[in-house]
Amino acid sequence: MSHPSLSPPLAGRSPILPGATLGVLGGGQLGAMFASAARRMGYRVEAVVDHADCPAARHCDRVHVGLLDDPARLVALGGRFAAVTYEFENVPVVAARALNAVVPVRPGPEVLFTTQDRGREKAFLVAHAIPCAPHGMVRSRDDLLAAVARTGLPAVLKTCTAGYDGKGQRRIDSPADVDAAWESLGPAELVLEGWIPFASELSVVAARGLQGEICTWEPSLNHHRHHILDCSLAPSGLPEATVRAARRMAERVLEALDVVGVACVELFVTSDGGLLVNEIAPRPHNSGHLTIEAAVTSQFEQQVRAVCGLPLGSPRLRSPAAMVNLLGDCWELGEPDWNAALAVAGVSLHLYGKSAPRPGRKMGHLTAVADSLAAAEAAARAARRALARGAVG
Class of domain 321-389: alpha beta
pLDDT of residue 163: 67
Return the CATH architecture of domain 134-194.
Answer: 2-Layer Sandwich (3.30)
Residue 254 confidence (pLDDT) above 80: yes
DSSP class per residue in 215-266: EEPPPEEEEEETTEEEEEEES--S-HHHHHHHHHHHHHHHHHHT--EEEEEE
Residue 6 confidence (pLDDT) above 50: no
How far does CA 205 lie from the centroid of its chain? 8
Model confidence at 40, pLDDT cuts 50, 70, 90, reads very high
Residue 119 confidence (pLDDT) above 60: yes
- Residue 171 carries which side chain, given as an amino acid letter? R
pLDDT of residue 368: 98
pLDDT of residue 116: 94
pLDDT of residue 208: 98
Q: What is the pLDDT of residues 65-108, one digit of tens each?
A: 998 999 999 999 999 999 999 999 889 999 999 999 999 999 99
CB-CB contact of 253 with 263 (8 Å): yes
CATH code for the domain defined by 21-117+198-307: 3.30.470.20
pLDDT of residue 12: 42
Give percent above pLDDT 70 in the chain: 95
Give mean pLDDT, residues 312-319: 98
CA distance 384 to 379: 9
CA distance 159 to 114: 15
Domain ranges in the chain? 21-117+198-307, 134-194, 321-389
Model confidence at 391, pLDDT cuts 50, 70, 90, reads low
Residue 212 confidence (pLDDT) above 90: yes
Same fold, 134-194 and 321-389: no
DSSP state of 176: G
Model confidence at 39, pLDDT cuts 50, 70, 90, reads very high
Residue 388 confidence (pLDDT) above 50: yes
